[in-house]
Structure 1
């Protein structure tokens, strides 16, 4: 029996909400929740200094940097510089943030697996300007 594939139309970017992001962030959902893959895949573009709030993922997350230079930081650890071609594997329930450096835009693909088993993300508090400054 032949498998059927679903072809989606070109996705549109939407502005990331101020309840989850600081600065201007654009989110393009490439793959929405579905039974076949049970994951959400998004392309996320951050303007300079823009960043996520602190957050966790019930089932972990994979980030693949596709453009620019940014930062990834786990709570209680030093921030890591990440750039085009880098990937980050984030274990389940690890509190962290990620976003652009101060001088340029930053884009990554975010892959959230197993979303039917606990959702994709738990948003927490904003990364303060001081926390961001210390990160770089």
Structure 2
């Protein structure tokens, strides 16, 4: 019985070692935030016309006529943020790692942390991004895309970003 158990466990331990180590035998460190694991690839760098700093998008669910929903992951480096923008049907943000800010027009800036779920109402101007000292990884959900996806607006100024 011991021999069969060893034959079963040994390959599992070997596989676990391969998964947790890189080619130098060192533990991998996350580029995406404060945790040691990443959920999704970093993605493509967002255009400077829509973001201040480096923000990377990785699409998870493509828009189609069945679900009419877009889902993706955005990784914001420290200090990176979106421009002000509007979604015709709103947007849901789920913070996966790090710490960031979001703000609805006319309201104070709010801090968001891992585990927070933020609802940006339809047709309300808003922005979101990482804090000055922390990266941010967030998932976004855009429902009812048949109504449109996003209208990008002006840059979030440093004064707006740094305000309390």
TM over 0.5: yes
RMSD after superposition:
1.4
Report how far residue 36 of structure 1 moved: 2.0
By relative contact order (CA 8 Å, sep 6+), the higher-ranking structure is 1
Structure 2 gaps, min length 5:
1-39
Report how far residue 90 of structure 1 moved: 1.2
Q: Secondary structure at the match of 1:116?
A: helix
Aligned partners of 1:42, 1:16: CA distance in 2, in Å? 13
Corresponding residue number in structure 2 for 1:60 = 90
Corresponding residue number in structure 2 for 1:7 = none
Report how far residue 25 of structure 1 moved: 0.4
Report whether the alignment pairs 1:85 with 2:126: no
TM-score (norm 2): 0.73
Q: Deviations over 1:6-37 (max 9, x none)?
A: xxxx8771110111110000000111111221
Matches of residues 37-52 of structure 1 in structure 2 within 5 Å?
A: 37-52=67-82
Q: Which structure's residues are more often strand, by fraction?
A: 1
After TM superposition, which residue ranges in structure 1, 4 or more long, deviate above 3 angstroms?
Answer: none
Which of 9, 16, 24 does residue 54 from structure 2 map onto? Answer: 24
Q: Deviations over 1:95-133 (max 9, x none)?
A: 00000000121010000001112x111100000011111
Corresponding residue pairs, total? 125
Q: Which structure's residues are more often helix, by fraction?
A: 2
Structure 1 gaps, min length 5:
1-9
Aligned partners of 1:64, 1:74: CA distance in 2, in Å? 16
TM-score (norm 1): 0.88
Aligned partners of 2:75, 2:41: CA distance in 1, in Å? 14
Corresponding residue number in structure 1 for 2:153 = 124
Which entry has the higher C-alpha Rg, 1 or 2? 2
Aligned partners of 1:121, 1:92: CA distance in 2, in Å? 10
Corresponding residue number in structure 1 for 2:64 = 34
